[in-house]
Amino acid sequence: MDHSMILIGKGGPSVYLSARMANRHGLIAGATGTGKTVSLQVLAESFSRLGVPVVMADVKGDLSGIASPGREHPKVAERLSLMDIPDFRFEGVPVTFWDVYGEQGHPLRTTVSEMGPLLLERLLRLNDTQAGVLNLVFRIADDSGLLLLDFKDLRSMVQFVGDNAREYRIDYGNISAASVGAIQRRLIALEDQGGEHLFGEPAINLEDLLQTDDRGRGMVNILAADKLVRSPQLYAALLLWLLAELFEVLPEVGDRDRPRLVFFFDEAHLLFDGAPPVLLEKVEQVVRLIRSKGVGVYFVTQNPQDIPEDVLGQLGNRIQHALRAFTPRDQKAVRVAAQTFRPNPELDTERAITELGVGEALVSTLNAQGRPSIVDRVLVRPPQSRIGPLSGEERQALIRASVLHGVFDKVVDRESAYEILKQRAQARETEAVPPPAARRSASTTRGRQTPMEAMVKSAARAIGSQLGRQIIRGIMGAFIGRSR
C-alpha cells in the first residue's frame, strides 16, 4: 500500500484517505452496532503507523485492544480475500492509557485556571447571571494573586468572594448571594460525580500527547471514558478543553504531508447538547482554525444532525454507516445525511444508507485538490489490531511499562488559593481573641454574668448566622405582637 494513503475499504475501487488531507477533519456516523468503532480503530492505527499521534476517548471500553495484534477469524479472512490486501499482517500499535480517576491509566489532570470560566460554566450548567459571577471569581483571584489549581481552591475562592461581596461591589459590580449559592451547590454536585479528580497537579503536559515510539509510530492516547461519560458535562468539558489547549499551544505549521495529531471525539453529541451560543461559536472557530496547527478532528456520533451545521460543513472526510428510518424524524435524518455527500450517479445514496450491513459504509474523502470525492459504498477493511478490549492484566502491564509511569501518580498540593485564604482566616481569628491575661482581668472586674446577660451575649453572637437572624426576627415579632 501507498504509505501516504490510508486504505479505508473497498467496494468497486479501493477507497483511501490521503494523509495530506487528513487535517481537514472528518465524521464517522451510524446507528449503534453498525461498525463505527471498527472504522475508528482502522483510522487510528493507520495514523499511528504513519507516525501521527492520536487522542481518542474509549467510551464503551473496547478500544484498548488496539495495543495488541489481531487474531485469525473466519470473518476477517473472508473480508481480506474479498478486498485483496497483499501485505496485511496482524499488529498492534503503541498506546498510552489515561484516566481522570487514575484507575485504568495515568491520572489526567488540569488546573482550574487552565480550564477557565467559559468551560467551567458549561460544566456547572450555569445561567448567564451565575456565569457572570463565576467570571468575577476568576478575575478577583487573578487580581489578588491567588492561584486556582485544584477543586478546593475553587470552592474556597467562591466562598471568599461571597462572604466579601460588599467590599468588591465598587470595583467589580454586584455579586449576587443567590448566584454564589447556586455555584456552590453545583460544585458540590460535581464533586459527588468525582469531578474533583480532574483538577490538580501535576497537570498533563500536552507534549505528552505528541509522542512517537522508537519505531517512529505515533502514540495512541486512549482516555478511559466508560466511567467518565456517566457525567456527560464533565466528559464534554474535558475533551473541549484538550482541543482548545492544543489550539492555543501548538504553533502554526501550514499544510503538511500528514497531520501532527489526530483527535477523535466519540459520542460527539455530548459536546453540543445544551451548549450556550458563545461556546458553540468558540468550538466552530477552533475546529476551523486548528487545521493550520496540523491537527485533524474527527467526530464520531450516531447521526450527522448531532453536529451543528457550522461545524459539520468543515468535515470533509466522511464515513457513514447505516441509519435506521423507523420514524419521520429518522427518515429526515437519512435524507439530510444523503444530501451531505457528492452524488454518485450509480448509487441511490439515501436508499443505501438504510441498507448498509455491519461493516459497510458510504465513504467520501477529499482528493488532492481538496474537493470531496463522489460517494462510494465500501466494505471497511479489518483492523490489524485486536477487536475488543485487553484484559485488566494486559492493560496494567502496559501502564507499568510506560515512560510516564509514576510521573502523575502522586498528587502535588502546593500553596494556592485554599491555603492562603485559610491562613488569612486563622490570622483574623487570632487577632480577634484577646490575650488570656486580659480575659482574666475582665472576668475579675465584672464578676459572674447574670442569666439575662448570658442570653443577650448568646443572641448577639448568633446574629452573624442565618439561624441567629431567624431567632432575632422571632423575638422582635413577639415583642411587636405584645405591644399591639
**Could you identify the residue written with the cell 478486498?**
83
The residue that leads in pLDDT, 362 or 469, is 362
Task: Please tell me the distance from the alpha carbon of residue 262 to that of residue 45, in angstroms, as a whole number.
Answer: 11
Residue 95 pairs in a beta bridge with 220
CATH class for the region spanning 5-108+206-390: alpha beta
Task: Please tell me the distance from the alpha carbon of residue 456 to that of residue 22, in angstroms, as a whole number.
Answer: 76
The pLDDT of residue 433: 64
What is the share, in percent, of the chain residues with pLDDT greater than 90?
Answer: 68
Could you report the per-residue pLDDT of 10-51, keeping only the tens digit for each?
Answer: 987 889 999 999 999 999 999 999 999 999 999 999 999 999
Stretch(es) of the chain classified as CATH 3.40.50.300 = 5-108+206-390
Q: Are strands 5-10 and 376-380 parallel, antiparallel or unpaired?
A: antiparallel
Could you report the per-residue pLDDT of 85-105, keeping only the tens digit for each?
Answer: 878 899 999 999 999 999 999
Task: Please tell me the distance from the alpha carbon of residue 45 to that of residue 67, in angstroms, as a whole number.
Answer: 9
Mean pLDDT, the chain, as a whole number?
87
Classify residue 353 by its DSSP letter: H
DSSP states along 287-340: HHHGGGGTEEEEEEES-GGGS-HHHHTT--EEEE------SHHHHHHHHHHHHT
pLDDT band at 214 (very low <50, low <70, confident <90, very high): very high
Q: What is the pTM of this model?
A: 0.85
Mean pLDDT, residues 261-272 taken together: 92
pLDDT reading at 482 higher than 80: no
Q: How many CB atoms lie within 10 A of CB 80?
A: 14
DSSP states along 458-479: HHHHHTTSHHHHHHHHHHHHHH
Helices (H) and strands (E) in the chain, counts: 18, 12
pLDDT band at 436 (very low <50, low <70, confident <90, very high): low
The pLDDT of residue 434: 64
Given strand 376-380, what is the order of strands in its sheet?
A: 14-18, 5-10, 376-380, 360-364, 317-320, 26-29, 295-301, 261-265, 54-58, 220-224, 95-99, 106-107
